[in-house]
Amino acid sequence: MTAELFIVALTILGEARGETFEGMAGVASVIQTRMIERKQTASQVCLAPKQFSFWNGGVSEATKKKLLATAQGKNALYLAGLVIQKQMPDIVRGANHYHAVSVSPKWAKKGKLVAVIRNHKFYKVSVYCVPLPCYKPYPPATMKT
């Protein structure tokens, strides 16, 4: 297993372990959208500071390996492979952010709610600045000179 596959699968699993396959696929879709928008690798997206709570610390390597050995872990590995190859179907309508329905982060007010899958709400946020610099997901309009 490559490091990239390990990181992406754990991100999907850590963020949506209690969800259905569809819920995990929603998280995978967001990772792929960010890869494309930010022109980053899947690992860079997943390990960016303060982006995915699973990577905020506290999970041992042994626990990570045990998580991947579960049935949901196998699903996460499958989805991660699709993301890395940029073959993940976009089931969340271009969402680049999400949060659990139990919270209301400030950034959500700036986004457009595009999907809800069980316990997660998915948003399209046009400009996001954490971490800096700000990224714009779409190329700017061509300037006339």
Percent of the chain with pLDDT over 90: 70
- Cα–Cα distance, 99 to 51 (Å, whole number): 11
Read off the pLDDT of residues 30-71 as tens digits, 9 standing for 90 and up: 999 999 999 999 999 999 998 988 888 778 889 888 999 999
- Cα–Cα distance, 112 to 131 (Å, whole number): 20
| pTM for this model (two decimals) | 0.85
pLDDT of residue 37: 94
Q: Which of 95, 130, 87 is nearest to 23 (CA)?
A: 95
Instruction: Give the residues across from 117 on adjacent strands.
Output: 120
The listed CATH number (1.10.3210, 1.10.10, 1.10.3470, 3.40.50) that belongs to domain 3-92: 1.10.10
Block means of pLDDT (10 residues each) for the chain, length 145 residues?
Answer: 95 93 97 96 94 85 90 96 97 95 92 95 78 45 38
